[in-house]
Amino acid sequence: MKRIALLGAISLLAAFTPATLAAGTTGWWTTALASGGITGTSTLTLAINDRSATAIVWLNRLRTGSGVTADLRAGACDTTGTRVTSMPAFTTTSGGTWRQRWIFSGRDLRALRSALAKGQPITLRATVGSRSACAQYSEPAGDTIDFSTFGDGREFDPLFYQDDRIVFPPQQCGPVGCGNWFVGFIQGDAALVGGPLLAPIEAMFTKPIFGLSLRVAPGAQGTAEYTLTAFNSGGHVVARKSVTITQDMGDPLTDPFGYFSIDLGRFRQPATSFTLGSKDIRSSFGLTGRTIEYGVSSITFVPAGPGS
């Protein structure tokens, strides 16, 4: 028997703000436990091909001779819920941190996918001896790079965020040629600058991701269409979203000024790169001899799995 970490714990309700796992997604979710001197964590991963799922649980500081059981259930902690899968019961043979990983497929996987399709929360129900616990899985918040940490008003180092698992091409190449990347000060924040003539903003991830969101703001008044596209390692489109934004004091249809988000949500397959391009549409100030440049102040991405 492997050492297992199971969530047994005294009246542990959801450690995160309640959240459901989005239907039809592939990725991973986490939960954490801390109550009555008992701490533990768990991850739930749905394989890329959707043919299996994996749950891993850890529980710290278990005592020797503790009986442990656990179920994954569809339904909030304050309901009975519907069983998805069960971990084999065991009794600890020594004290300390125990971990167990189990892969499930077939009927159990179908039950999980059915619950996801219905938008039901997935919870981990566990017992250690006479104690019980319930915690709800939630999507990881993702990792964010914010260009304010680089500073504004200077050329950008494309490898500056390499330790954060994102790198940019050596130069920014567009219709008028190639040049160095630049972080400007746009609408009150440091932002990597792009535009129709400067070329799309693009970057590569050193490890796959399952979700992507950018904060964007125009650097000039007018209306433009912005298109965010994520690609897999073969260069095929994983997700794409276009939005049309008007920030123009001379346009009666103007949106509020400031940054807006372009969020691709969760992917059904991993992505390894993205581009953000724009197309000018109109401006009350005219577009002759000028373009609507834009800035990206931050990039948020969800790694493909624990430890990615």
**Same domain for 165 and 122:** no
Using the 3D structure, point to which of 136, 154, 185 is the last residue of a domain: 136
Q: Please check whether residue 203 is in contact with residue 20, taking contact to mean a CB–CB distance below 8 angstroms.
A: no
- From 136, 162, 186, give the residue that closes a domain: 136
Looking at the structure, tell me whether residues 94 and 186 fall in a common domain: no
Query: What CATH number has the domain bearing residue 229?
Result: 2.60.120
pLDDT at 242: 98
Give domain status of residue 221, yes or no: yes
* Residue 14, in any domain of the structure: no
128/170 same-domain check: no
- Judge whether residue 16 has pLDDT over 50: no
Is residue 15 a contact partner of residue 34, using CB atoms and an 8 Å limit?
yes
**Domain check: are 285 and 161 in the same one?**
yes
- How many domains is the chain built from? 2
> How much is the mean pLDDT over the chain?
85
Pairing of strands 38-46, 53-62: antiparallel
Same domain, 155 and 287: yes
Answer yes or no: do 112 and 153 share one domain: no
Distance, CA of 148 to CA of 296 (rounded, Å): 11
Domain for residue 158, yes or no? yes
pLDDT at residue 268, rounded to an integer: 76
Instruction: Give a yes or no: residue 23 inside a domain.
Output: no
217: in domain: yes
- Domain check: are 250 and 165 in the same one? yes
> Does residue 151 sit in the same domain as residue 56?
no
* pLDDT tens by residue, 162-199: 999 999 999 998 888 899 999 999 999 999 999 887 78
Domain membership flag for residue 204: yes
pLDDT of residue 1: 34
pLDDT computed for residue 198 by the predictor: 75
Asked if residue 19 belongs to a domain, the reply is no
Average pLDDT over residues 7-15: 28
Q: Any idea what the Cα angle at residue 109 is, between residues 103 and 113, rounded to 5°?
A: 135
Domain stop point among 136, 171, 194:
136
CATH code for position 105 = 2.60.40
- The closest of 211, 228, 229 to 269, measured between CA atoms, is 211
Strands 53-62 and 96-104 turn out to be antiparallel
Is residue 196 domain-resident? yes
**pLDDT > 90: percent of the chain:** 50
Summarize the confidence of residues 9-19 as an average pLDDT.
Answer: 30
83/117 same-domain check: yes
Same domain, 107 and 250: no
Above 50 in pLDDT, residue 292? Answer: yes
DSSP-derived secondary structure letter, 27: S
What range does the domain containing 58 cover?
Answer: 28-136
Q: How many other CB atoms sit within 10 Å of the CB of residue 294?
A: 26
Could you tell me if 175 and 195 lie in one domain?
Answer: yes
Give the Å distances, CA to CA, from 85 to 12, 95, 125, 134, 164: 20, 26, 11, 15, 35
- Tokens 């493909």 correspond to 304
Q: Record the pTM.
A: 0.72
pLDDT at residue 6 greater than cutoff 80: no
CA atoms of 9 and 61, how far apart (whole Å): 11
- Do 203 and 254 lie in one domain? The reply is yes
